[in-house]
Amino acid sequence: MTTCHALLISAPASGQGKTFITAALARAWRNQGLRVQAFKCGPDFLDPMILEVATGRPVYNLDFTMCGESDAEAQLYRAAQDTDLIIVEGVMGLYDGTPSSADIAIRFNLPVLLTIDAGGMAQTFGALANGLLSHKPDLIPAGVLANKTGSAGHGKLLHDSLPPHLNWFGALQKNAALSLPERHLGLFRAGEISDLEQKIEDAAKALTQDLPRPPTVTFSAPATQLPPKLLAGKVIAIARDDAFCFIYQANLDCLQDMGASLRFFSPLDDHTLPEADAYWLPGGYPELHLNKISSNLAMKNALQAAFDANKPILAECGGMMALSTCLNDEPCFDLLSGVSKIEDRLQGLGSLKVTLLNDELGAHTFHYGSFTTELPPIATAKTRFGKVENIYQHGSIIASFLHFYFASNPNLAAQLFTAR
C-alpha cells in the first residue's frame, strides 16, 4: 500500500468548467512545489491534453468499461508512488453514467471536490452542494469550489451558504479571457490554444489564497503484473501530428512494456515512413488538414509500400478515414476502398468491449464520421446505446472507428501489430 494526497473534481452537470478548474487547481498545487499527477474519468483525449499542460506530466484515463477496474487500480497505485498529489477530473455530472464519477470515487476512496457554476445562484449554492455530496453515504466530501462568480462579494455569499462540514476551496470569477474554445468533439487541442499556459497560470493564482490540500488516500498494490514481452525487438511507428493526435499515454506505455521500440512520424509533413515492423495511425482531425493529406503524394506512396510489404497497419477513427479513398470529397491516402465523410450529427458514442481475433479488447467510440465501403467487417461491436461499429481488415490493415485501449488485453493488442 502507498499513500498520497488525492481528490476527484466533479460538478452537477457537464459544462460547469471541470476541466479548467482541474487544470487551475493542479497548477496551483504544482506551484506550491508538489508533484501533481492528473487523471481523467472516461475515455476522453482532449481534456487530458489541457491537464498535461497544467501538470507537466502525461495524463491517464480511468474508465471501468474501456480500461477495466484493475487497470485503474494499477494506474492510481503507480501514480501514488511517484507523486505528492493525485487529481482526477470526473466526467459529466457527479452521478451521471455507469459507472459514474461518484462510483469511481467511492471505489478508490477518492474525496470529491464539487465545482459549481454559480452564475445566477445565491444561497441555493450551499443546498445544492450539500445535497449532491450527501446523496450517497459512502462518498467522501473534500469540499466545494464556486466557478464563474460575479464578484468577491458574490463569492463570500456562496461561501457563507455552505454547511460547516464542507470545506471551501475558493471561487473563480467569471472572465471571458479564461474560457476554453470548443468544436464538434469537445475542447480545442491544447496546442491550438496559444495562451493556454497564461490562462491556467492566471486561474491558479486566483485560487491560491487559503487553498487547502486534499486529504490523504491509501492506494492498494494491484494484482496485475507487467505484460509479457510479446513485442520484444519490434519497432512500431506511430503517426503523431495535428491531424493524428488521439493517443493514450497508457497505450504507448503498454507497447513499451511489451518490449516495442516506438518511432513517430507526421503523415502531414513527412515524405517518408520510419523503418518499422508495424504502423499505427490513431484518430484525430484529418478533416481539418485535407489539403496537406491530399497533396502529400510521397506519404501516400510510402504507406502503399508498407502495405505492399505486408506490414501490419492499425488505423483508428481519423486514421481509418485518412486511409480511405476520400474524406469530404477530398482525396486521401486510398489504401482502403471506401468513402469517408464528416456528418452533421454524432455517429458513435460510448465505451465498450469488442470481440476481435477470438479475444476481447476494451475500446471507445466518439465521432461524427461515416465510412461507406463494400469491405465486409471482420467484427462488430455495439455501444450501450445500440450503435454498431464495424472493424475491417484489408490485407495487413485493421481499421475501425473504435479507439482501442491496449492495456485491457495486451496479448490481443500485440496481435494488432503482428504480421497477418
Domain harbouring 281, CATH code: 3.40.50.880
- 107 lies in a domain? yes
Q: Identify the pLDDT of residue 418.
A: 93
Q: Identify the pLDDT of residue 222.
A: 87
CB-based contacts of 295: which residues, under 8 Å, 6+ apart?
Answer: none
For residues 280, 283, 288 and 291, what is the CA-based torsion angle, rounded to 10 degrees? 20
Specify whether 255 is located in the same domain as 210. no
pLDDT band at 184 (very low <50, low <70, confident <90, very high): low
Task: Give the residue carrying C-alpha cell 475542447.
Answer: 187
Q: What is the mean pLDDT of residues 301-306?
A: 98
- 225 lies in a domain? no
152: CATH: 3.40.50.300
Specify whether 59 is located in the same domain as 87. yes
User: Domain boundary at 219, 244, 266, which?
Assistant: 219
Give 45's DSSP letter.
S
Distances in Å between the Cα of 199 and the Cα atoms of 70, 142, 155, 176, 206 are: 35, 25, 20, 10, 11
Specify whether 203 is located in the same domain as 241. no
**The C-alpha cell that represents 77 in the structure block:** 497505485
- Residue-wise pLDDT for 190-247, tens only, equals 888 888 999 999 999 999 777 889 999 999 988 877 899 999 999 999 999 999 999 9
Reply yes or no on whether 317 is catalytic: yes
Distances in Å between the Cα of 44 and the Cα atoms of 282, 297, 405 are: 14, 32, 12
**The C-alpha cell that represents 417 in the structure block:** 501489430
- 230 lies in a domain? no
Q: Please give the model's pTM, rounded to 2 decimal places.
A: 0.94
User: Domain boundary at 153, 185, 219, which?
Assistant: 219
Task: Give the residue carrying C-alpha cell 476481447.
Answer: 360
Specify whether 267 is located in the same domain as 360. yes
Percent of the chain with pLDDT over 70: 100
Contact 148, 118 (CB under 8 A): yes
More confident residue, 384 or 63: 63
Pairing of strands 313-316, 283-284: unpaired
Specify whether 352 is located in the same domain as 382. yes
Q: Identify the pLDDT of residue 181.
A: 78
The upper half-sphere exposure of residue 303, i.e. CA atoms within 13 Å in the direction of its Cβ, equals: 30
pLDDT at residue 382 greater than cutoff 90: no
Distances in Å between the Cα of 325 and the Cα atoms of 72, 264, 336, 341 are: 38, 24, 6, 11
- 353 lies in a domain? yes
pLDDT at residue 180 greater than cutoff 90: no
Q: How far apart are CA 207 and CA 216, in angstroms?
A: 21
Mean pLDDT rounded to a whole number for the chain: 94
Number of domains in the chain: 2
Specify whether 288 is located in the same domain as 347. yes
Q: How many CB atoms lie within 10 A of CB 226?
A: 11
Class of residue 1 by CB neighbours under 10 A (exposed 0-12, middle 13-18, buried 19+)? exposed
Specify whether 361 is located in the same domain as 409. yes
Specify whether 127 is located in the same domain as 247. no
Q: Identify the pLDDT of residue 192.
A: 84
Give 178's DSSP letter.
G
Q: Identify the pLDDT of residue 314.
A: 98
Among residues 264, 261, 318, the alpha carbon closest in space to that of 293 is found at: 318
More confident residue, 182 or 405: 405
- 22 lies in a domain? yes
Q: Structural domain of residue 31, as residue ranges? A: 2-219
pLDDT at residue 166 greater than cutoff 90: yes
Specify whether 300 is located in the same domain as 270. yes
Residue type, 47: D
CA 86 to chain centre: 16
Q: Return the bridge partners of 265, or none.
A: 239
Phi, psi (degrees; rounded to nearest 5) at 199? -60, -50
CA 103 to chain centre: 18
Q: How far apart are CA 249 and CA 242, in angstroms?
A: 16
Specify whether 14 is located in the same domain as 157. yes
Q: How many CB atoms lie within 10 A of CB 140?
A: 15
- 320 lies in a domain? yes
- Residue-wise pLDDT for 348-374, tens only, equals 898 999 999 889 999 999 999 999 999
Q: Return the bridge partners of 156, or none.
A: none
Q: Where are the alpha helices (DSSP H) in 32-182?
A: 46-55, 69-82, 101-107, 124-134, 152-160
Q: Return the bridge partners of 147, or none.
A: 117, 172
Catalytic residue among 245, 317, 326, 332: 317
Q: Identify the pLDDT of residue 375.
A: 97
Give 214's DSSP letter.
P
User: Domain boundary at 192, 219, 246, which?
Assistant: 219
- 226 lies in a domain? no
**The C-alpha cell that represents 72 in the structure block:** 485503474
Specify whether 46 is located in the same domain as 179. yes
pLDDT at residue 13 greater than cutoff 70: yes
Specify whether 116 is located in the same domain as 78. yes
Contact 352, 369 (CB under 8 A): no
Q: Return the bridge partners of 114, or none.
A: 10, 144
- 260 lies in a domain? yes
pLDDT at residue 386 greater than cutoff 80: no
**The C-alpha cell that represents 109 in the structure block:** 476512496
